[in-house]
Every structure is written in C-alpha cells, then in structure tokens.
Chains A and B, each alone.
Chain A
C-alpha cells in the first residue's frame, strides 16, 4: 500500500466533474491525492492518456463519467 498515492483523474465535465464540485459544496472530505484533468466526455479519453499517466508516475488512474 502506498500511503500517499498519486492518483490522476479524468473527469467528464457534465457528470463526474460536476459531482466533484457538488461534493465540495456539501463539504464532503476525501483524501487529497487526486489531480484532476477535465474533459468534455469520458469518450475523449484515449487509452494512451492512461498509459502515459502511469508512465508519468501515477499510482492509479481514476476515470469518472
């Protein structure tokens, strides 16, 4: 287990990104390890983005859409 994992997130503008904002409005607390890249749809995510994320040192990739 990595104690401070580095997570890269790809979030759909319309749903998951909006949900992450809503979590903020509701002041939900969650671990501070994710770094988010906003896309207009998860359909935009080329599998290469995910591989590149791992190459750049991500411990996990979160795709939310």
Chain B
C-alpha cells in the first residue's frame, strides 16, 4: 500500500464513486464523483490531534463497532492516504453549525468545511475493477439469533478481538462481560451453501480463516477449548490441508454438523447450540462465545457499478467472466480482479490483480511509456574530501513525539555531538515545508550528512533520501533515528526515560553518520526477452501475454506438442469446449511473430542472473536435433503437474478401474455409453489428503461432479455413486454439486481410517463401504470404477536444481511469499505459474500465468534493474579466497572467480539482498555491506557505551 502511495505514476482517489464509463477500449472517459472529506489532503500530516479534540464518538467500523472512533478520524493507522476525514453524518458542525474543535486543534490548517462534492472526468485506456466483497449479514440467519447476544460475533469481529491493535489489545475476551471465554465454537457455512441463506455458492475462504482464527486464538490463550462445526472442511490451496492437520494436533475439535440453532442463556450470557451429528443423534452444548465466520457476498454497490461501467454481473451479483478469459468483464477494455469476481482467498486476489495488469499492458502496449513521470535530479555534490558537517533534524510529530520526549532538550543535546554543525526541530519532518527547509539547510550550512530523528526508516527513509538527493547529496548520506514508533509511542508514561533514549539513539546515529559514504546505485541492463518453460495452458498463456505486451519470448516444451494437461479436458462444468480453445491458443502461439517455440526440448544449463540469463537447450529429434543458446532477461516456470497413479483400488490390475480423466475421455469420445442399468462408482481423495500427499488437490471434486453430471446427461437412469471424504466444490462450483444431488447422484462419505474396499469377482467389481449414517457396510456392484486421484508435482527436479529454485514440502515450486508474492520465486527474475505452483482449475491457471507475465513484463520493459546500495562488496586485496561466503550466501549472489593464481569472491549485485551473512562469516573482514559496514556498526556500539 505504501508503495502504491509513493509511486509517481499512481494517483489515489479515495472517497469516490464511478458514475459513468463511456468510450471504447483504449479510450475511455470515466466520470468520478469525489465526496468531500473536509480535510485538505495536501495539508493533513496524519498527526491525529483533531481526533483528540473532536467531542463526538461513534463505533469504529474498522474494529467492527467494538471500540469507539471520533467523527474526524482515520480508518486505520496504515491507511493510504494517511489523511483524516470527517464523517458528515456525525460531525456537529456539518449538522448543527457548532463545535469546530478540529479547526482550532489542527496546526496545519487542514480542516476545510467548504469542500463540496466534485465530479471529475479521467481519460484512461483501460479500467480494472477490484471493488471487493461484502460480509454476509449475520442477522439474516434467524436460527442463530445474532442480535440477541453480544457473545455471538462474526469472523471479522473475532479477528479484531484477537488483534493486538483491536478493541481488547489482543486479549481474547467476550463482549458481554469482558471475561475470558473458556469454550468457543465456530460455526461454518454461515451465509453460504444454502438456499435459505440466499447464497447457494461456497464462499471459499471461511474454512481457511476459521482455522486460522482458531489457531491464533490458541496462540493467545493456550487453554481455550475450541470447536469448529462444519459441513466439509474446504482447505484447498497451498499448505492449507497441513494447516488443518496442525489445528487438530493443537486440540481444536472438529464436528461435522450444520448447527441448527443457537440460543442465548439470559442468566449466564452463554449460548446453547443445538446440532445433529453424522450418526443422527441430537446434541445440546453450551459455549461462552460463538464465532460465525461469515460467508462473502456481492455488495449492493455492484449493481450501480455494473450499470455505470455497462458490464454484466453473474446471477450471484459478482462480475460475469468467462472460464478461458477469467479477468475480462463483458465489455472490452474493462478487467476484473479479486472479490468483485467472486469469493476468493488472498493469493488468488493478488494473482488476478497481477493478471489484470498484464491484460491492460497487452491492450495498451503501443502507448507504453508515453505518460510516465520520472524524476530528474541535479548533479551530486562530491563530499568525500569535505570535513564532516552533520545536520540533525528532530521531529515533534505534532504531539506524537513532543508529548512524551523533551524535543527541545534532545535538540540541544544533538548540537553538542561531534561533527554536528546544526541541530533543529520541526513540527512535522515529513511535511512538504520541512522538505524545503531541509534542502535549504543542506545548501546553506554545506551539510554533508543528515540525521533525521523522527519515525521509522521503514516508511520514511525513501522520502528523506529523495529530499537530500534533490539538495545535491547522495541518497545514502541520511540516517534516520526512530524516536516515535520505538520510543515515544511505547514509553508514553516515562517521559524522562524516553528523552534519554532519544538522546542515546541520536548519539549512536550521529556516530554512524560520521562514517557513511556516498554509494552508487548499481544499474544493470536487462535483455528484453523472456523464456517460458512449459508449453501447457499456463506456459502458453504467459508466452502469449509477453508477446502481446510487445516482448520477445521463447517457449520451451519437453514433449512434441503444445497443450499439456489441457489435452485431457474435453468438457467443463461451465459448458465450454476446451479442445476448441486449445486449438485457438496453440495457433496464436505458433503464429505470433514474437514467440519462438521449441518442442521436444530439454534445458541443458542456465547461467547468469536477473536480467541476464543464458540458457542452453537441446531440441528436436533424430537428425534434426539441435543445440541453441538463448539470451533472455526473465524466466517463467510453467512446468505443470501430473496425475497420480495409485497402486490401490485395483488400478492397473482391473480393466474396470480407470482414472477420472480416462473416464472423461471415454465419455467424450463415445467409447463408453452409460446404459440405464449401469452403475458407475467414483472414489475421491485417492492419494490426496493422506500421508503420501498431505494436501487437497483442489480440482478432483469438481472433476467428479462434472463427469457424474455428464453421465446423467447421457443417461439419467444410470446409477452414479460418489464415495467422498469431504466434497471440495468451492466457489460457484457448489451449485453443480447441488445439481448432481438433485439429478440423483448418490454421495456416501467415508473416513481416512475406513477406506472403501474393492474386489473383483467374475468380471465385476464389488465395493464395500461403511456408511457412517447407518453405521453399517454398504455393498455396491459395478462394472466401472473411476478414481479421483491427486495431482502431484513433476517427479524430475533437474530443472529446479539447475535454477536453484526451491520446492515446498509438497514438492510444488515455492513462491517467495504465499499470500503476497504468489508468482515470484526465491530467485530474482524467475517467476512461477500454473500447476507447477499448485494444482488449480483452468481460470486460476490463466490468471496466474498472466500475473507471471505481468511481473516478467515489468522487468523486461523497464530495461534495467536498479539495485539498492545495501549490497555486499568484497575487497579483493583482503579476500583470502576461502569461499565461505559463497557457501553461506542464501541467494547465490557470490561466486568465487579465479584471479591470477588465487580465487576471489565476486558479488553479483543484482542478486544480492544485502542480508550480510557473507560479511559476518568472512574471516578476513574483506566483505563490506553498503550502509551497514563493520566500522559503522562498531561506531554505533561504541556510542551506545558512551553515555
């Protein structure tokens, strides 16, 4: 969010509604209504003094109404822009023409009651809609009596209760009496998967966040007794099934039941749950707190937005998209990501957001770089020969620092430190006028080092770096001291101690500042082409997207034909024709001038680093076999996954046992036509969610439903049995599960410890399964058994070893952050997508492939990589060539190279992350870390001791 807020090419418009989108793709006019916030964004510093003076309190929507905020406030601490705004419904002045306390309190004159709603028109080439979802209203579930008891809370309310910044400071308390609840129940499918709730679909995320909430609560209070009531635990997605297993190990109870009623006990404020378990028995149980992890639904605003943008919604009120074009709305040039498409988890939202960026870049490729703002700076002043002249700027941060720390005393103290020529204080160091002041002071006082004692360098260092750069100093010549976040805010009642701490920290920073040197920001050229490895759906989509963005691309496929697993899909639940699509996309890839395809290809070696890779491949067969070296700047790994072939349930031994995709092939080709008296059985979770593969393969339940419905479509009298452990038809696929039950498909559940038994007698299969409802064995005779087996990673990991790209415990490619960076690998310049990352359906594969192409496209189109000067450097005169740095470097950023007779360490700056592991291991102290040198750290330690 901070990054988006800082980009010179993103204008953030909050408090606004889209009124109309006219024009066509590439040339839209968007009419936006900007509602007044009554605070001037350019003047507000986010200090919060106005809120302290505002006399009106109201329930805080961010803390789910469990704590108060003021009529002038900020939604939450990290909000961007960090500007306060006035709630027009509650402000005394706006409603009764009285008060104006905020105007008097604000020291920057930011309050502006004259603001009026404004309509602005923006000219844009494309539109991305990512307006999100709404939490289902719990009061609509009459049986749970949400409004009767404060001790029934929604999942979001519970998240705020568990949060350190929440209403109870992270203590798990129940709202009625602020006592610790001993027994907590979470009730799943609240507002999902039911005709009575109005939403028949599965909200996809509630099982996952319920388990997370339960585990977090246990981390806070280990002796809590927590029960989760569920219909099916849908833990699809990477790493989530093992998360579920961990929850069980931690002692969280899971009861398979849809709770039929929740009633309040008015004496104790406890809650009584009524539910029927799988064996048919009725239970009543008492809990101190009930959590309803609510389902997600379409916000009412979707209809207005759809009308304004002239796009279609699906029957559930979310944006309508197509399976093979999942990120496009029904109007060309309008793209859609996240909760506006439907309920989904964080990584999917992030992938889709990246994917839509690729869609926009494809559409607007000819106009690339035409409206970009890039800052230009005056020449840097050489300071190496100058005597040290340090300037210290101490921030009051309104009252945030000055209310605790004696800024005046700190300022005077700083002036006495060696090398300091000026020490001054300012109301807000981050405000625009202070930037002007700092620049003027640098010039006037001929400063060559700047120390800013204010808030955290994590958010504000780039600002001050830019300010001193504008004054002609190298960016690295500023050092920040954190006297707010890590001092005044956390020692609010120890003013003297906080003042002393501020002085100590400034002394340490000044000591370091004396040793900081100007550093170059290395810039490395990027070869503007990409290499996509894997010619399945994800690989082809990524290659095509790069090419449509105007970037050259090599597509390498190990088999003789493009298409991968898509060849095995003949129809879809949504009614699309995958083989038609496959033919179209293969033609597009083959005929695109910017894509060069290599089939029957094998990667021999990959050398280089981000922006500069050299890859040797062998391709073709027999006499046509060739070797070629490719130069490219980025790699997209789309190597796919495989269907698991089990050695149970007579697979491979009986001709009556097939895999689900083989059944699909038979049904599609007509080689098997189900007859009226045929019985077909399917077994789910074969090799999934067990010790061999502890994850849910995400797509097998939908595949089984698809084939079951196909059979019923061909012959409604054919008997179909699905033996399952947990139906995982998440999202809108839930409706097809319902449809299958309506058409007479019989679903029988089994447990991991009670697997079905399959024997073959006289050319027929006999399947015995223990039906948990009647607690008795059921025997089914069938001529055809289809197994829904796990999707497993590619067995051969040679490629990953060549690239040094790690796999996760499940064997799929590991992304650098599961939630926030789902297409970046651990190695810069290498991106991942498709089933190589994790099993996923077609639309999610396409979205992720586009996201990978978007990330690679950013790198390739920019043409250079700028490296932060925090990287490691090695002094060859001191290096003894031991190689310990190369061994320990976690990023492959150090290589030992022969220089004359000796080996010397060489840093690949583009790959270095500045962690400094090399420097701390180097026995010869030959390695120095930019901005964190040994000398600087020793100076800080020495200054620490000098008080």
CA distance A35 to B507 in the complex (A): 11
Nearest chain A CB to B909 CB, angstrom units: 14
A21 touches B945 (CB 8 A): no
Q: Which residues of A contact B890 (CB under 8 A)?
A: 43
B920-940 contact mask (Cβ, 8 Å, vs A): 1 or 0:
100000000100101001101
B944 touches A26 (CB 8 A): no
A37 touches B492 (CB 8 A): no
B490 touches A24 (CB 8 A): yes
B165 touches A25 (CB 8 A): yes
CA distance A16 to B508 in the complex (A): 19
- A21 and B456 in contact (CB under 8 A), knowing A27-B489, A52-B941? yes
A56 touches B920 (CB 8 A): no
B505 touches A35 (CB 8 A): yes
A49 touches B937 (CB 8 A): yes
Q: Which residues of A contact B920 (CB under 8 A)?
A: 43-47
B915 touches A43 (CB 8 A): yes
A56 touches B945 (CB 8 A): yes
Interface extent on B, as a size class? 35 or more
Nearest chain A CB to B398 CB, angstrom units: 15
Q: A13's closest neighbor in chain B, by CB? A: B458
For A, the interface residue count at a CB cutoff of 8 angstroms equals 37
Q: Which residues of B contact A58 (CB under 8 A)?
A: 944-945
Q: Which residues of B contact A32 (CB under 8 A)?
A: 487, 490-491, 494, 497-498, 500-501
B870 at the interface (CB under 8 A from A): yes
Nearest chain B CB to A22 CB, angstrom units: 8
- A44 and B489 in contact (CB under 8 A), knowing A26-B169, A35-B505, A35-B508? no
A40 touches B486 (CB 8 A): no
Q: Which residues of A contact B508 (CB under 8 A)?
A: 35, 37
Task: Pick the residue among A27, A30, A57 that contacts B945 (CB under 8 A).
Answer: A57
B942 at the interface (CB under 8 A from A): yes
Most chain B C-beta atoms within 10 Å of own C-beta, residue among A6, A21, A33, A49: A21
B485 touches A44 (CB 8 A): no
B482 touches A36 (CB 8 A): yes
Q: B498's closest neighbor in chain A, by CB? A: A32
Nearest chain A CB to B502 CB, angstrom units: 10
Q: Which residues of B contact A13 (CB under 8 A)?
A: 458
CA distance A28 to B489 in the complex (A): 8
CA distance A22 to B940 in the complex (A): 24
Q: Which residues of A contact B78 (CB under 8 A)?
A: 25
Nearest chain A CB to B894 CB, angstrom units: 13
Q: Which residues of B contact A28 (CB under 8 A)?
A: 164, 169, 490
CA distance A45 to B938 in the complex (A): 11
B883 at the interface (CB under 8 A from A): no
Q: Which residues of A contact B929 (CB under 8 A)?
A: 40, 44
Q: Which residues of B contact A39 (CB under 8 A)?
A: 916, 932, 937
A27 touches B492 (CB 8 A): yes
Chain B interface (Cβ < 8 Å from any Cβ of A): 77-78, 164-165, 169, 456-458, 482, 484-487, 489-494, 497-498, 500-501, 504-505, 508, 870, 888, 890, 913-917, 919-920, 929, 932, 934, 937-938, 940-942, 944-946
Q: Provide 17 A-B residue pairs closer than 8 Å at the C-beta atoms, listed in order of the A residue.
A: A8-B944, A21-B482, A23-B490, A25-B485, A27-B489, A28-B490, A32-B487, A35-B505, A36-B486, A37-B508, A37-B941, A37-B944, A38-B457, A40-B929, A41-B913, A44-B915, A44-B919
Chain A interface (Cβ < 8 Å from any Cβ of B): 6, 8, 13, 17-18, 20-30, 32-33, 35-41, 43-47, 49, 52-53, 55-58
Beyond A40-B929, A58-B945, list 18 extra A-B contacts (CB 8 Å).
Answer: A17-B458, A23-B490, A24-B489, A25-B78, A26-B169, A28-B164, A28-B169, A28-B490, A29-B491, A29-B492, A29-B493, A35-B505, A44-B915, A49-B938, A52-B941, A53-B941, A57-B944, A57-B945
